[in-house]
């Protein structure tokens, strides 16, 4: 018996939807492909924003806000970029509605001269501003960030992982030369690794994407890749060195120290609400989400066992005092976030709500606890012993002292568990394409867990790479990245048999 009606083993995709729904994270909206983010989901996103925003600022980036609607002509400037996004663009064509034959319709007299695109990403409009703002080498590097909503019209959507509208952060920078731009690109990648591993407790592999998986218009794309509990990969963040492509298309030049006009080298990097999907599939269990304490909007939730009687007042006071005391303490570098749930509902129902949401510590406090100065609690990570819920009772003062340590240990345990799973499911020893075929089969319907393959290749390009991509596609596989940490020597290319030059990760992916 678990808190969710479907388990991971029975049906992983169904289990995922159940967690999203039951943990109060989000729900489908009446707008096709878009979701409503609910309080626990928003609270998690706001924690993410706070943590990442502090790091982005500390490294000298300023926040800006650019228009969401971008003139169509801006996209026509960089050919690869528009090819990459044209098929999923939401287009604004009118600026007024009108009653026509009793029906509300776009007013034909209010058609825009030039259609506007809802930003799928902002390189084009920010590059245009760069070209106006950057005059001299003194203006470089120019480093900015934006928190915004973006729209990519997806035909098959899945909550958090792929929705028509999503929330994200996009960094955009301009530099004097390749070395400086590459340093920024790698800084962003490492910053992403640190937030995703240290705060979200999701282990990732940093690496470079192969040519055919690059961002449209980029010279080099780097990613962090995370393994979900079903063995699939989730691209959890990307950082792009854009070379001078956008600078050429948009005339982003600066006067260098010798007085010449030189093209800037630009970068861009982004992470989004999709990471919440990654957190669910990394840390969720059959009782719902286990929210890493550093990400939990509420780390300690107190459910008073109210009985609608006069004694309730005393119990409420005991809980309120406990919360006030806990909130003076610090854990994981921030003030603790404790909360009393006094909603008008059955205590047992409230407890299960918080289990499904994955509040790290859940205290159920009854009149006897209050009388004895005790706290009875469950740890969301370590909820059960066998099938049974495991609860702990300690003196109130001890609970206040121990709470930061409990949260910090839980944070580490969630990371260690995911790290061990990821490492034990990256397999070596694939020598030929047939080995991949044997291991993965042609789809992921078979019950056996499928992790990632770590293989050597000769890094083909152009048509040869396209052929590799097609062969992998026949197994529903993709190259995730070439990890930054590479071995000292290489065997033969798994695709061509010639001497390899690089190790890459191959997987099924979200």
Q: Which positions lie near its own copies, rule CB under 8 A?
A: 29-31, 34-39, 42-43, 45-46, 62-72, 74-76, 82, 86-98, 104-106, 115-118, 125, 128-129, 138, 144, 148-149, 151, 153, 164-165, 167, 344-345
According to DSSP H, which parts of 446-500 are helical?
A: 462-474
User: What's 103-136 look like in SS3?
Assistant: EEEECHHHEEEEEEEECCCCHHHHHHHHHHHCCE
453 contacts: CB under 8 Å, gap ≥ 6: 426, 427, 430, 436, 439, 440, 505, 506, 507
Closer by beta carbon to its own copies, 70 or else 264: 70
- Give the DSSP H/E element, type plus range, for residue 240: strand 233-241
Specify the pairing of strand 62-63 against strand 265-272.
Answer: unpaired
Shortest distance, position 298 Cβ to its own copies, whole Å = 12
Q: How far is the CB of 128 from its own copies (least distance, A)?
A: 6
Minimum distance, C-beta of residue 163 to its own copies, in the bound complex (Å):
9
State which residue, 36 or 313, has the beta carbon closest to its own copies.
36
How far is it, in rounded angstroms, from Cα 51 to Cα 330? 16
Residue 65 vs 448, nearer CB to its own copies: 65
| Least distance CB 343 / its own copies (angstroms) | 8
Minimum distance of its own copies from residue 85's CB (angstroms): 8
> Taking the complex as a whole, how short is the minimal distance between the CB of residue 269 and its own copies, in angstroms?
19
CA–CA distance, 491 with 456 (Å, rounded to integer): 6
Q: How far is the CB of 174 from its own copies (least distance, A)?
A: 15
Closer residue to its own copies (CB): 34 or 186 = 34
Phi and psi at residue 505, to the nearest 5°? -105, 135
User: Which of 104/179 has CB closer to its own copies?
Assistant: 104
CB of 25 to its own copies, least distance (A): 11
Structure tokens at 440: 């993965």
Could you tell me the two tokens for 469? 């991509």
Q: Are 211 and 465 contacting, i.e. CB atoms less than 8 angstroms apart? A: yes
Q: DSSP label at 500?
A: P
Is the CB of 335 or the CB of 499 nearer to its own copies? 335
Count of alpha carbons within 13 Å of 408, Cβ hemisphere only? Answer: 12
For residue 56, the minimal CB distance to its own copies (Å) is 13
Work out how close the CB of 451 gets to its own copies at its nearest, in angstroms, rounded to a whole number: 34
- The H or E element spanning position 503 is strand 502-507
* Calpha distance 8→403 (Å, rounded): 30
What is the spatial distance between Cα 75 and Cα 231, in angstroms, rounded to a whole number? 37
Element (H, E) at 455: strand 452-457
* Residue among 128 and 364 whose Cβ is closer to its own copies: 128
Q: Of 100 and 420, which CB lies nearer to its own copies in the complex structure?
A: 100
- Considering beta carbons, is residue 34 or 426 the nearer one to its own copies? 34
- Nearest approach in angstroms of CB 252 to its own copies is 15
Q: Distance between CA atoms of 287 and 382, rounded to whole angstroms?
A: 11
Q: Output the CA angle 503-273-338, nearest 5 degrees.
A: 115
In the three-class reduction of DSSP (H, G, I as helix; E, B as strand; rest coil), residue 453 is classed as strand
Nearer to its own copies, 17 or 29 (CB): 29
Looking at the Cβ atoms of 31 and 372, the one nearer to its own copies is 31
Cα dist. 450→281, 495, 505 in Å? Answer: 15, 20, 13
């Amino acid at each position: 018996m678990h808190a969710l009606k479907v388990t991971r083993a029975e049906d992983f995709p169904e289990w995922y939807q159940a967690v999203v729904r039951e943990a109060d994270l989000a729900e489908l909206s009446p707008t096709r492909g878009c979701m409503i983010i609910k309080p626990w989901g928003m609270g998690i996103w706001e924690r993410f924003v706070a943590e990442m925003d502090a790091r982005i600022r500390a490294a000298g980036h300023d926040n800006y806000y650019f228009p969401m609607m971008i003139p169509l002509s801006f996209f026509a400037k960089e050919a690869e970029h528009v090819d990459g996004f044209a098929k999923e663009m939401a287009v604004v064509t009118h600026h007024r509605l009108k009653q026509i034959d009793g029906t509300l319709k776009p007013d034909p007299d209010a058609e825009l001269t030039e259609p506007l695109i809802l930003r799928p990403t902002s390189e084009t409009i920010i590059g245009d501003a760069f070209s106006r703002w950057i005059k001299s080498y003194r203006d470089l590097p120019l480093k900015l960030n934006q928190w915004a909503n973006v729209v990519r019209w997806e035909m098959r959507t899945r909550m958090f992982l792929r929705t028509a509208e999503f929330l994200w952060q996009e960094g955009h920078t301009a530099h004097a030369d390749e070395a400086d731009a590459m340093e920024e690109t790698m800084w962003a990648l490492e910053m992403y690794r640190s937030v995703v591993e240290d705060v979200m407790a999701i282990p990732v592999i940093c690496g470079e994407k192969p040519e055919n998986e690059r961002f449209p218009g980029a010279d080099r794309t780097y990613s962090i890749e995370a393994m979900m509990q079903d063995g699939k990969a989730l691209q959890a963040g990307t950082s792009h060195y854009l070379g001078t492509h956008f600078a050429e298309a948009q005339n982003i030049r600066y006067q260098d120290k010798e007085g010449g006009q030189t093209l800037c080298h630009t970068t861009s990097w982004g992470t989004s609400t999709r990471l919440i999907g990654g957190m669910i599939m990394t840390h969720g269990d059959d009782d719902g989400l286990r929210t890493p304490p550093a990400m939990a909007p509420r780390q300690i939730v107190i459910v008073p066992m109210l009985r609608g009687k006069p004694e309730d007042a005393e119990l409420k006071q005991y809980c309120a005092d406990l919360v006030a005391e806990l909130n003076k303490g610090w854990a994981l570098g921030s003030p603790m976030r404790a909360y009393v749930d006094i909603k008008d509902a059955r205590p047992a129902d409230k407890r299960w709500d918080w289990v499904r949401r994955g509040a790290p510590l859940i205290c159920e406090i009854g009149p006897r606890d209050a009388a004895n100065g005790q706290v009875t609690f469950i740890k969301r990570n370590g909820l059960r012993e066998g099938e049974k819920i495991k609860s702990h009772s300690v003196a109130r003062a001890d609970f206040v002292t121990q709470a930061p340590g409990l949260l910090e240990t839980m944070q580490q345990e969630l990371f260690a568990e995911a790290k061990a799973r990821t490492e034990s499911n990256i397999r070596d020893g694939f020598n030929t394409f047939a080995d991949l075929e044997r291991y993965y089969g042609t789809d992921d319907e078979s019950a056996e867990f499928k992790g990632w393959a770590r293989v050597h290749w000769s890094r083909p390009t152009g048509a040869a790479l396209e052929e590799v991509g097609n062969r992998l596609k026949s197994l529903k596989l993709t190259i995730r990245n070439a990890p930054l940490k590479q071995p000292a020597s290489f065997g033969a290319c798994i695709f061509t048999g010639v001497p390899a030059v690089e190790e890459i990760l191959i997987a099924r992916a979200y």
